[in-house]
Chains A and B, each alone.
Chain A
Amino acid sequence: MKQHAGRNRFIALCVAPATILFTIFMILPTLNVFRMSLFERGAYSPTETFVGFQNFKALFNDAKFISSMQNTILLTVVVTVVTFFFALVFAGILTREKIKGQNFFRIVFYIPNILSVVVIAGIFSAIYKPENGMLNNILSMLSGETVMILWKDQPMVIVSIIIAMVWQAIGYYMVMYMASMSAVSESLYESSALDGAGRLTQFFQITLPLIWTNIRTTLTFFIISTINMSFLFVKAMVAKGMADVGLSFMYNQKDAGLYGYSMAAGVVLFLFSFLLSGAVNMVTKRDVLQM
Chain B
Amino acid sequence: MKKRNKDFTGDTLYKLFVYVALITLVVVIIVPVGWVFLASLKENSQFYGNPWVLPNGLHFENFVNAWNAANMGSYMLNSAIVTALALCLLLVVALPAAYCLSRFRFRGSKFLNICFMAGLFINVNYIVVPIFLMLKDGDAWLKSAFGSTFLLNNLFVLAVVYAATALPFTIYLLSGYFATLPHAFEEAAYIDGAGYGRTMIQIIFPMAKPSIITIILFNFLSFWNEYIISMTLMSSSKGAKTLPVGLLNLMQTSQAKTDFGQLYAGLVLVMLPTLILYICVQKKLTQGMTVGGLKG
Contact = CB atoms under 8 A, between A and B. Distances in A.
10 contacts: A14-B96, A18-B94, A26-B127, A27-B119, A115-B225, A123-B267, A126-B39, A134-B51, A170-B25, A179-B287
Interface of B: 14-15, 18-19, 21-22, 25-26, 28-33, 35-36, 39, 47-52, 92-94, 96-97, 99-101, 104, 106, 112, 115-116, 119, 121-123, 125-134, 137, 140, 160-161, 163-165, 167-168, 171, 195-197, 200, 221, 224-228, 244-245, 247-248, 251, 263-264, 266-267, 270-271, 274-275, 277-278, 282, 285-287, 289-290, 293-296
Contact of B247 (A106, A122, A269): A122
Contacts of B92: 17
Contact of A24 (B18, B126, B164, B270): B164
Given A19-B97, A108-B26, A225-B295, A122 B263 contact: yes
A243 B125 CA distance: 18
A123 B15 contact: no
A41 B129 CA distance: 13
B223 to A, nearest CB: 11
A270 B15 contact: no
Contacts of B33: 111, 115, 123
Given A26-B167, A176-B293, A46 B140 contact: yes
Contacts of A6: 195-196
A99 B22 contact: yes
Interface of B is mostly: helix
Given A10-B196, A108-B29, A123-B33, A236 B248 contact: yes
A106 B26 CA distance: 10
B17 to A, nearest CB: 9
Which 6 residue pairs spanning A and B have beta carbons closest together? A116-B225, A18-B97, A14-B96, A25-B164, A29-B130, A29-B127
Contacts of A172: 289, 295
A28 to B, nearest CB: 7
A25 to B, nearest CB: 4
Given A32-B130, A105-B26, A221-B294, A134 B225 contact: no
Interface in A61-118: 90, 93-94, 97, 99, 105-112, 114-118
Contact of B36 (A93, A114, A118, A126): A126
Contact of B221 (A18, A114, A251): A114
A207 to B, nearest CB: 16
